[in-house]
C-alpha cells in the first residue's frame, strides 16, 4: 500500500459526460501528479500541483482540469468525454526533493467511456 | 525537454537467469534522479530502485541493481536470479528539481519457467 488513495477505482460513463477523479496523497506529501495510461501505453504526464499551486503541465487536454485543495487532496475533472479518454488515470504524490523526488502511485482509476 | 528512451519493447528471460533492461535519457541538468518502476498485470506502479545522479555508486536493492553511466546518459536495470513474479512492464523514469517525472515507453519482461 503506497498510501495514495484514489476514488473511484472503476467508472463507466457515456460520451459527452463529465467525471471527477479524486486523490488523497500520502500523509505529508505536498506534491500531487496526475498521469494517464491508455491500454498498453506508457504513462502520459498530465499535471502536477505543489501545495495547492500548479507546478507543471504536460499533455493535458483543455477538456481536462485539475486542482489541489488546502487539505492537499486533488481532483481531476474530465469533461465532454470521448471514447479515446478511456484509460487508467493515476495519481501520485511526493514530498518533493526531500525524498529524492520519488513519487508514489495510487492504484489508479479505471475510466471506461462508452 | 527531458526525454527517456527504452529501446527494448519486449524482453524475455529464463527463470533463475539474469536480464538487463536498457534505458537512456537526455538532459542538460547536472542534478537529477533516475528510477525504475515495475507494473505487474494488476497495473499497480511499484518503485523498484532509485539512483541519485550525484552518487557514483550504483544503486542495489536485493536482486535488482543498476548500471548508471552518467556521461553516456545510460541507466540500465539488471535483474538477477529472475523469478516468475518479476514478469511485468518496467518503466524507466527521470526527474529533476525543476521538472516533473517523465517516463519511458516501457519494456515488457516475460519470465519463462
Q: Which pLDDT value is given to residue B75?
A: 97
pLDDT of residue A34 exceeding 80, the answer is yes
d(CA A54, CA B108): 33
Whether the Cβ atoms of residue B108 and residue B12 lie closer than 8 Å to each other: no
Average pLDDT over residues A79-86: 96
User: Averaged in consecutive runs of 10 residues, what is the pLDDT profile of chain B (113 residues)?
Assistant: 89 98 93 94 93 92 96 97 97 83 93 96
pLDDT of residue A97 exceeding 70, the answer is no
Closest to B21 in 3D by CA, of B10, B32, B33, B34 = B10
pLDDT of residue A96 exceeding 80, the answer is no
pLDDT of residue A98 exceeding 60, the answer is no
Instruction: Give chain A positions within 8 Å (CB) of B52.
Output: 100
Instruction: Give chain B positions within 8 Å (CB) of A55.
Output: 100
Q: Which pLDDT value is given to residue B19?
A: 98
CA distance B97 to chain A (A): 7
Best to test chain B binding among A26, A36, A42 (most B CBs inside 10 Å): A42
Average pLDDT over residues A23-48: 91
Instruction: Kindly state the percentage of chain A with pLDDT values over 70.
Output: 95
Beta-carbon-side half-sphere exposure of residue B113 (alpha carbons within 13 Å): 2
Please give the C-alpha separations between residue A45 and each of A52, B13, B21, in angstroms, as whole numbers: 18, 30, 22
Amino acid at each position: 500500500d503506497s498510501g495514495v488513495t484514489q476514488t473511484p477505482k472503476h467508472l463507466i460513463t457515456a460520451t459527452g459526460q463529465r467525471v471527477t477523479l479524486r486523490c488523497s496523497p500520502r500523509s505529508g506529501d505536498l506534491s500531487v501528479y496526475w498521469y494517464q495510461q491508455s491500454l498498453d501505453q506508457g504513462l502520459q504526464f498530465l499535471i502536477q500541483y505543489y501545495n495547492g499551486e500548479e507546478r507543471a503541465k504536460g499533455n493535458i487536454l483543455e477538456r481536462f482540469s485539475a486542482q489541489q485543495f488546502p487539505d492537499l487532496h486533488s481532483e481531476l475533472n474530465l469533461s465532454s468525454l470521448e471514447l479515446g479518454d478511456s484509460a487508467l488515470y493515476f495519481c501520485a504524490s511526493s514530498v518533493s526533493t526531500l525524498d529524492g523526488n520519488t513519487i508514489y502511485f495510487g492504484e489508479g482509476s479505471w475510466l471506461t467511456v462508452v | 525537454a527531458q526525454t527517456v528512451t527504452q529501446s527494448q519493447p519486449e524482453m524475455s528471460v529464463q527463470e533463475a537467469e539474469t536480464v538487463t533492461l536498457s534505458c537512456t535519457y537526455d538532459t542538460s541538468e547536472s542534478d537529477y534522479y533516475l528510477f525504475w518502476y515495475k507494473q505487474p498485470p494488476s497495473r499497480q506502479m511499484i518503485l523498484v530502485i532509485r539512483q541519485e545522479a550525484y552518487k557514483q555508486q550504483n544503486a542495489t536493492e536485493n536482486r535488482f541493481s543498476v548500471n548508471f553511466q552518467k556521461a553516456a546518459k545510460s541507466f540500465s536495470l539488471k535483474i538477477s536470479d529472475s523469478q516468475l513474479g518479476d514478469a511485468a512492464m518496467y518503466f524507466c523514469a527521470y526527474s529533476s528539481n525543476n521538472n516533473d517525472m517523465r517516463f519511458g515507453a516501457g519494456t515488457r519482461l516475460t519470465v519463462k519457467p
